[in-house]
């Protein structure tokens, strides 16, 4: 099965529940969704305070104002909409079967969408095929949302610390493009370096670095709690 796109969700939880919410996600929520037809892989990401500081957003963005600290992606095979529809059916079952053990009032989805793959470019030295790029190793990702096609991916893939770039288009908002830029280290520093080396050429809605979450390990929780990021989802 070849990767065809992703389900993309930007989320927040109350700062006093970071560990509890992330454990619920890792231990109960993710396994259920990865079992659905068409889901190949799940990854989760976090933006501690220093990554928020390196973020660019447009006015009115759900990613502005310290929001959307967490990100979940599900890599899909086949028709991306099929997996999204199945996931929408499964969510109510969590409540019906008493598997929603985390308070719904302490978490929120800021943005959710389905993106279909368009192009994928890996660093030439890695000799990746396009279908392999979505699975390339990385410790962080830079998420770019834009309103038009651009030609930056090939140049970005050759920059220091970049392992690949996967470009997709929204199924629900045609003309909205998403770049997932996979990096080896220092997502905030790489984000700034990429903007300098290969400047944006289109209307950019978001340019945000995230750190890949190591399941069951949340060493950044205190940094978020002790920062000026919003302490609650409201």
Q: Residue 207's pLDDT is what?
A: 98
pTM here is 0.95
The domain locations on the chain are: 3-225
CATH classification (class only), 3-225: alpha beta
- When computed from its CA atoms, the radius of gyration of the chain, rounded to whole angstroms, is 17
CB-based contacts of 76, cutoff 8 Å, min separation 6:
3, 4, 5, 6, 7, 38, 39, 40, 83
Q: Residue 79's pLDDT is what?
A: 87
Rounded to an integer, what distance in angstroms lies between the CA atom of residue 109 and that of residue 101?
A: 17
pLDDT tens sequence for the chain (234 residues):
799 999 999 999 999 999 999 999 999 889 988 988 899 999 999 999 999 999 999 999 999 999 999 999 999 998 887 887 887 777 777 777 777 777 889 999 999 999 999 999 999 999 999 999 999 999 999 999 999 999 999 999 999 999 999 999 999 999 999 999 999 999 999 999 999 999 999 999 999 999 999 999 999 999 999 999 999 998
- The answer to whether the beta carbons of residues 212 and 139 sit under 8 Å apart is yes
Question: How many CB atoms within 10 Å of residue 48?
Answer: 20
Tens digits of residue pLDDT in 93-103:
777 777 777 78
Ranges of beta strands (E only) in the chain are 3-13, 39-46, 56-57, 70-77, 107-122, 140-146, 162-170, 177-183, 204-212
Q: Residue 76's pLDDT is what?
A: 96
Q: Residue 100's pLDDT is what?
A: 72
Q: Name the residue among 217, 116, 232 with its Cα closest to residue 172.
A: 116
Q: Quick one: DSSP state of residue 26?
A: I
Q: Residue 178's pLDDT is what?
A: 98
CB-based contacts of 10, cutoff 8 Å, min separation 6:
62, 63, 67, 68, 70, 71, 109, 110, 111, 112
- The answer to whether the beta carbons of residues 195 and 152 sit under 8 Å apart is no
């Amino acid at each position: 099965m070849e990767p065809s796109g992703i389900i993309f969700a930007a989320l927040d939880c109350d700062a006093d529940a970071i560990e509890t919410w992330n454990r619920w996600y890792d231990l109960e929520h993710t396994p259920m969704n990865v079992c659905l037809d068409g889901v190949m892989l799940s990854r989760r990401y976090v933006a501690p305070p220093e990554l928020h500081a390196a973020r660019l957003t447009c006015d009115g963005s759900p990613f502005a104002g310290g929001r959307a600290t967490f990100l979940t992606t599900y890599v899909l095979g086949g028709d991306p909409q099929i997996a999204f529809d199945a996931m929408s059916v499964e969510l109510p079952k969590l409540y019906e079967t008493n598997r929603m053990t985390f308070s719904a009032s302490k978490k929120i989805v800021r943005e959710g969408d389905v993106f279909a793959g368009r192009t994928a470019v890996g660093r030439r030295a890695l000799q990746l095929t396009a279908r392999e790029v979505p699975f390339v190793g990385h410790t962080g990702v830079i998420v770019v949302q834009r309103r038009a096609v651009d030609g930056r991916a090939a140049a970005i893939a050759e920059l220091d610390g970049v392992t690949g770039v996967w470009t997709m288009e929204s199924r629900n908002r045609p003309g909205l493009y998403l770049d997932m830029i996979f990096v080896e280290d220092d997502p905030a520093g790489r984000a700034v370096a990429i903007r300098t080396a290969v400047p944006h050429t289109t209307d950019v809605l978001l340019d945000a670095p995230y750190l890949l979450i190591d399941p069951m390990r949340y060493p950044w929780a205190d940094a978020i709690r002790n920062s000026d990021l919003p302490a609650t989802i409201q």
